[in-house]
Amino acid sequence: MDFKDTDIWIFDLDNTLYPPEVNLFAQIERRMVAFVMREYSVTAEQANRMRRDYWAAYGTTLAGLMAEHDVDPVAYLNEVHDIDFSVLPPAPDLARAISALPGRKLVHTNGDSTYAGKVLAALGLDGFEAIYGVEESDFIPKPEQEAYASVMRQAGIDPSRAAFFEDDPRNLIVPHSLGMRTVLVGQGRDGPNALAGPGGIGDHVQHQTPDLTAFLRKIVPA
């Protein structure tokens, strides 16, 4: 694996730094649906359809609600992220594997940074230099180009020295185009993937792993 010149490691949060089997998003999605039902007087079925359609079209449900309904993003995020974090299993092996990586480690998530901090605390992952949530990119989410540009400006990132880890193939298109090394964690979330190849994942995904800890240990053996 060609990571010898990599010294900036950027990680997505949900379903990347913890296994999707934890199903934290089930709690969040229930709160999303309840929020949309209450605010827009729609049925649960209609609210769930809006949630999915906005995610597909805008990158996140929040981005769609902001574009289509001018929703207050802070109020929305505070409500949908008010969940039970105790279901997250501590990840000491992953913490050690991340700590062993040379250079800088960052989180770039479409969630907000307060929520991300709670997830990292529950996992026992405290080795990150900074968390960049959606509010740090002016509520512009991945996979929009400006979301990455904003984080790179703030963090002073040279993309040629960076690797990006994600569970959503869409969110690796821009990092790959910028010259970052790209790693898909898991099988890839359901959803649009405009550059998908015959196997369903495009050339913008350079590596794929079902086990982030094991993958990182191959880069820097314990």
pLDDT digits (tens, 9 = 90+) for 155-214: 999 999 999 999 999 999 999 999 999 999 998 865 444 444 444 578 899 999 999 999
- Cβ contacts of residue 39 below 8 Å, gap of 6+? 69, 71
How far, in Å, CA of 64 to CA of 192, rounded? 15
**pTM of the predicted protein model:** 0.92
Check whether residue 152 and residue 192 sit in a common domain.
yes
Residue 101 pLDDT grade (very low, low, confident, very high; cuts 50, 70, 90): very high
Check whether residue 64 and residue 141 sit in a common domain.
no
Q: Please, are residues 193 and 202 in contact by the beta-carbon 8 Å criterion?
A: yes
Is the pLDDT at 141 greater than 90? The verdict is: yes
Domain span at 198? 8-18+89-219
Residue with the two structure tokens 């495009």: 202
- Domain finish residue from 40, 61, 80: 80
pLDDT digits (tens, 9 = 90+) for 51-78: 999 999 998 999 999 999 999 999 999 9
CATH number of the domain residue 47 falls in: 1.10.150.450
The answer to the question of residue 184 being in a domain is yes
Where are any strands of DSSP class E within the chain?
8-11, 104-108, 130-132, 162-166, 181-185, 207-209
How far, in Å, CA of 176 to CA of 162, rounded? 10
The answer to the question of residue 192 being in a domain is yes
Single-letter residue type at 216: L
Q: Please, are residues 14 and 111 in contact by the beta-carbon 8 Å criterion?
A: yes
CATH number of the domain residue 168 falls in: 3.40.50.1000
Check whether residue 113 and residue 201 sit in a common domain.
yes
- Give the pLDDT mean for 112-125: 98
Is the pLDDT at 2 greater than 90? The verdict is: no
The answer to the question of residue 3 being in a domain is no
Check whether residue 120 and residue 212 sit in a common domain.
yes
Report pLDDT for 80: 97
The answer to the question of residue 1 being in a domain is no
Which tokens sit at 203? 């050339």
Is the pLDDT at 103 greater than 70? The verdict is: yes
How far, in Å, CA of 169 to CA of 186, rounded? 10
Residue 111 pLDDT grade (very low, low, confident, very high; cuts 50, 70, 90): very high
- Give the pLDDT mean for 6-20: 97
Number of domains the chain is built from: 2
Q: Please provide the average confidence, as pLDDT, over all residues in the chain.
A: 93
The answer to the question of residue 120 being in a domain is yes
Report pLDDT for 197: 46
Report pLDDT for 198: 42
